[in-house]
A and B are shown apart, each in its own frame.
Chain A
Amino acid sequence: MNHESLLHISKREGLVWWQAWLIRLASLLLGMVVSAAFIYTITKLNPVRVYAAMWDGAFGTTRRAWVTTRDAMMLLCIGVGLAPAFMMRFWNIGAEGQILMGGCATAAVLLYAGNAFPSWLLLLLGALVSVLAGALWGIVPAFFKARWNTNETLFTLMMNYIAIQITCFLVAKWENPKGSNSVGIINSRTQAGWFPSLFGQQYVMNVILVLAIAVLMFLYLRYTKQGYEISVVGESENTARYAGISVRRVLIRTMAISGAVCGFSGFIAVSGSGHTISVDTAGGRGFTAIIVAWMAKFNTFVMILIALLLVFLEKGAIQIASQFQLNDYASNVVEGIILFFLLGSEFFIQYDLRFRSHSHKKEVQA
């Protein structure tokens, strides 16, 4: 019934990289126009001033610029963690849970050993346990996937909520002061187990750690045998088996790495930024990072750009919201709109659209 269709869709043959980026940029601009229109309808604020205010919210002061950088690094770290899993076509929707487990493990170290060990040892221990906890949270669904082909999208999704409840349990257990329903700032007096300030800036260490992980992951995925195995399994499990790769082992190993990096970002969130633990330690970033990793096509450097863009939108929209007494959720709306456009734009990069004219059709028939 579609043989008369006016549109002809075909796969594009190799688009030059800058053309692809031009399409993405155009869709980003289109998304920003629609978002501005949306903000205009509820605030009646001049759209140009909207983005000026957003810029101010994200980078207006040195402090704001650092917070924006810190949050972008956090998002980047999670995205980097997800990259190997996605490259393997393993849908790890469980970053949220892996972050929380890493964060809880770190918080436990800071709370129980805060007075017993020097700060550098606490940091080392915190990093270690967070990596282990995150890896564990990644291995469980991978094991079932490898053994019985259990659907990993749904499994990892459920693991998030188990992690969230464990976090709520620990928050209630560690509550300080009693009745506040929060853990409060851990070791606020001694600052034991906190990231030290480097070069007079609080968040320099976050940047260094995350960028190091990003570079290492890039090298791992591109230049090592294990990275190659991941991409073969992602392309086709049968090919991988034929080539003598143990698919089960690759699945479990890769998810251990993926979970470990996500767990490590929980460590950064607790030791390096929030100094507390709650479900907001992850706060939906595990889900946002999925979008970051996917849109960057697993390229860790492109992820930096996308992570920065998303955090910029978030901070900017929060600024506008507070100026107009709206709540922070305005940022999620703007984020959603822009992501819809970016997601849609991939189609125009992958496929070529041609309208069939009548004369052309006759030509074909003749």
Chain B
Amino acid sequence: MTQLISLLTSAIVFGTVILYGAVGEILTEKSGNLNLGVPGIMYLGGIAGLAAAFLYETHAAAPVGAVGLVLSFLAAIVASALGGLIYAFLTITLRANQNVTGLTLTIFGAGLANLFGGSLNAMAGGVGQIHVAVTSQAYRAYIPALAGLGRVGQLLFSFGFMAYLAILVALTASWFLNRSRVGLNLRAVGEDPATADAAGINVTRYKYMTTCAGAAISGLGGLYYVMDYIKGTWTTDSTIEALGWLAVALVIFATWKPARAIWSAYLFGVLYWAYNYIAGLSRASIELFKMLPYVVTIIVLVAVSLRRSKESQPPKSLGLSYFREER
């Protein structure tokens, strides 16, 4: 039982990272933009948050966690939205190919983040690994009285605020896409931009707004990873990239539905960590286990194309640029 609880808690933490990435990408894809820059954007969000907290903590005489939290949160949102803006400008205004632009954004974001993550501390004259203890503490704060309520308390209340925010964001996105007028317009843009345009919807503005907003949300996944998952430090490697691609996979798995992405994200977390709780696995077979989320995603992808049910298809114009003149 204790084992199950600990599996579920780590699955929720893991799931939260990719849930942000996926919800942001769902919004973006609903506007017809397939942004393969999600990993890069998550990197940008993570490093911007870390850098902001680092600058604040090294310059303030007595750093306050809440201030560091607000600063890093804003920095992450701005940086990831800017990443989205680069993508939007190139693909929407300059009509560059979406896949290639997205992949370039991933190379760029990963490069920028690992460059600064690895050397920010040295540049500021410090030694050793970068660490923002105070801000990270604020991100990981929870209400001890609630988390102390036995196993249920641990399972439901032992997380930092961003885990709950992720659910809220996903539910809001779901409401937005299905119930709000703007959301319905957005879906029309993603399905058939020419028709939407004819109906008087400003296709360009919709695509720009959602791509930037989607990027901002995706970037929060990187922020949560840096501040909560690895506790306010930096590891110069490609973990965020792998998580970013998992977020792209999650979009497919959730068949472009933000609400479904919530439990799917946790399921990915369980699949990812399952090897930890199976006795007698060799190190080699652990690597095979880590394949599970991707295999499951492929199965869903194939199943979706087999069933052809209307509700679970990708947006029809996904990946295609819209040229008004070539309508």
B133 at the interface (CB under 8 A from A): no
Which of B89, B103, B284, B297 meets A290, CB within 8 Å? B103
A327 in contact with B114 given A162-B295, A339-B107 (CB within 8 Å): yes
The answer to whether A327 touches B291, judged by C-beta atoms less than 8 angstroms apart, is no
The answer to whether A158 touches B298, judged by C-beta atoms less than 8 angstroms apart, is yes
B154 at the interface (CB under 8 A from A): no
Given the complex, which residues of B lie within 8 Å of A10, measured CB to CB? 325
The answer to whether A332 touches B99, judged by C-beta atoms less than 8 angstroms apart, is no
A62 at the interface (CB under 8 A from B): no
Please report the C-alpha to C-alpha distance between residue A169 and residue B275 in the assembled complex, in whole angstroms.
Answer: 14
Q: Which residues 307-366 of A sit at the B interface, judged by CB distance below 8 A?
A: 325-327, 329-337, 339-340, 343-344, 346-347, 350-351
Q: With contacts defined as CB atoms under 8 Å apart, how many contacts are there between chain A and chain B in the complex?
A: 162
Please report the C-alpha to C-alpha distance between residue A272 and residue B319 in the assembled complex, in whole angstroms.
Answer: 37
**Shortest distance from the beta carbon of A141 to any chain B beta carbon, whole Å:** 9
Please report the C-alpha to C-alpha distance between residue A150 and residue B286 in the assembled complex, in whole angstroms.
Answer: 29
B110 at the interface (CB under 8 A from A): yes
**Shortest distance from the beta carbon of A262 to any chain B beta carbon, whole Å:** 16
The answer to whether A161 touches B245, judged by C-beta atoms less than 8 angstroms apart, is yes
The answer to whether A329 touches B294, judged by C-beta atoms less than 8 angstroms apart, is no
The answer to whether B306 touches A327, judged by C-beta atoms less than 8 angstroms apart, is no
Please report the C-alpha to C-alpha distance between residue A157 and residue B325 in the assembled complex, in whole angstroms.
Answer: 32
A149 at the interface (CB under 8 A from B): yes
Given the complex, which residues of B lie within 8 Å of A347, measured CB to CB? 93-96
The answer to whether A165 touches B290, judged by C-beta atoms less than 8 angstroms apart, is yes
B137 at the interface (CB under 8 A from A): no
Chain A residue nearest to B241 (CB atoms) is A284
Which secondary structure characterizes the binding site on chain B? helix
A294 at the interface (CB under 8 A from B): yes
**Shortest distance from the beta carbon of A322 to any chain B beta carbon, whole Å:** 12
Given the complex, which residues of B lie within 8 Å of A330, measured CB to CB? 111, 115
The answer to whether A158 touches B90, judged by C-beta atoms less than 8 angstroms apart, is no
Please report the C-alpha to C-alpha distance between residue A154 and residue B315 in the assembled complex, in whole angstroms.
Answer: 14
Contact with B along A167-183 (1 / 0, CB 8 A): 01111110000000000
A243 at the interface (CB under 8 A from B): no
Contact with A along B141-164 (1 / 0, CB 8 A): 000000000000000000000000
Given the complex, which residues of A lie within 8 Å of B94, measured CB to CB? 343-344, 346-347
Contact with A along B62-104 (1 / 0, CB 8 A): 0000000000000000000000001001100111110111011
**Shortest distance from the beta carbon of B268 to any chain A beta carbon, whole Å:** 12
Which of A93, A149, A172, A334 meets B36, CB within 8 Å? A93
A153 in contact with B34 given A294-B97, A333-B112, A344-B90 (CB within 8 Å): yes
Q: Which residues 133-176 of A sit at the B interface, judged by CB distance below 8 A?
A: 144, 148-151, 153-155, 157-162, 165-166, 168-173
B249 at the interface (CB under 8 A from A): yes
A128 at the interface (CB under 8 A from B): no
The answer to whether B108 touches A151, judged by C-beta atoms less than 8 angstroms apart, is no
The answer to whether A336 touches B291, judged by C-beta atoms less than 8 angstroms apart, is no
A42 at the interface (CB under 8 A from B): yes
A154 in contact with B325 given A329-B111, A343-B97 (CB within 8 Å): no
- List the one stretch of B9-17, B117-125, B218-226 in contact with chain A: B117-125
Supply 10 A–B pairs (Cβ within 8 Å), ascending by A. Answer: A155-B298, A158-B298, A161-B245, A290-B103, A329-B236, A330-B115, A332-B107, A335-B107, A337-B108, A340-B86
Chain B residues within 8 Å of A, Cβ to Cβ: 34, 36, 86, 89-90, 93-97, 99-101, 103-115, 118-119, 122-123, 202, 236, 242, 245, 248-249, 252, 282-288, 290-291, 294-295, 297-298, 301-302, 305-306, 314, 319, 325-326
